[in-house]
Amino acid sequence: MSTCKLSIVIPAYNEELYIHRVIERVYSVSLPGNMHKEIIIVDDHSTDATGTQVAAFHNTHPDADIRYIRHERNQGKGAALRTGIQIASGDFLIIQDADLEYDPEEYKRLLEPILLNQADVVYGSRFKGLGPHRILFFWHTIGNKFLTFLSNMFTNLNLTDMETCYKLFRRDIIANIPLRENRFGFEPEITAKISRIPGIRIFEVGIAYYGRTYHEGKKINYRDGCRAIFCILKYNIYRYKPQPANAHRTLLNS
């Protein structure tokens, strides 16, 4: 099997305290079969030293395949992800938040079903993981489970964590999906749209979770939860018609 490439898209907004460490951990993690890493940081018009921290890392690691894009105005996480997806060139693509809530060491477990040609999309579930889980907010947990339940009702999937950051895709799958949400509505939108792809193979893998408090920089709030409900209804009622998943499927074991 020829060497594959994993594109890691990192949306960032005012993450000067974490971004250097996140890139370091992404850069350092080993991948199966000497898989190449393409690290894409999309700075959503940060007003702090996020960009300076990215440049500092790149200056000390000139061998790293890092691409840094800065939005001219703040648009939201979903918009940053669209930018990253558009320029990604890997065989596979994973989303990595620009904090330390998710551990890049999990990449290997997430990649396994795709490399075995069993999956096209893999979700990392914070509610199935056997690893460490920081105990934080009761109502956030209830909210996440409710949104997943509501999404499952419309998509007929049995996900345990629709809102997870860790979503790994065959890049040809996600590159061909028109995405519209600018903020945290990305999660229900992408879930609704991939669920309607004929022949799509979706797996879920348990992951560890090291959540942040609002004091530590967590940004999502109740308004984003309300938007997520709206997006679940909107994108499941609006009938986007995708291409079959096997239209461009690469047989990795060939």
Domain assignment present for 161? yes
Helix, strand or coil for residue 60? helix
**Is residue 26 within a helix (H) or strand (E), and if so which, with residue range?**
helix 19-28
For residue 42, what pLDDT is reported? Answer: 99
Domain assignment present for 218? yes
Measured in degrees and rounded to the nearest 5, phi and psi for residue 206 equal: -70, 140
CATH number (domain holding residue 44): 3.90.550.10
For residue 36, what pLDDT is reported? Answer: 98
Domain assignment present for 130? yes
Domain assignment present for 57? yes
Measured in degrees and rounded to the nearest 5, phi and psi for residue 35 equal: -60, 135
Domain assignment present for 251? no
Residues 85-114 have a mean pLDDT of: 97
Cβ-contact 205, 107 below 8 angstroms: no
Domain assignment present for 249? no
Domain assignment present for 253? no
Question: What's the mean pLDDT when you consider all of the chain?
Answer: 91
How many CB atoms within 10 Å of residue 183? 18
| Predicted confidence (pLDDT) per residue in 102-122, tens digit | 999 999 999 999 999 999 999
| Predicted confidence (pLDDT) per residue in 190-239, tens digit | 999 999 999 999 999 999 998 755 454 455 667 888 999 999 999 999 76
Share of the chain above pLDDT 70, in %: 89
Question: How do beta strands 5-12 and 36-43 pair?
Answer: parallel
Measured in degrees and rounded to the nearest 5, phi and psi for residue 72 equal: -75, -15
Q: How many domains are contained in the chain?
A: 1
Q: Range of 155's domain?
A: 5-243
Domain assignment present for 248? no
Q: Binning pLDDT at 50, 70 and 90, where does residue 254 land?
A: very low
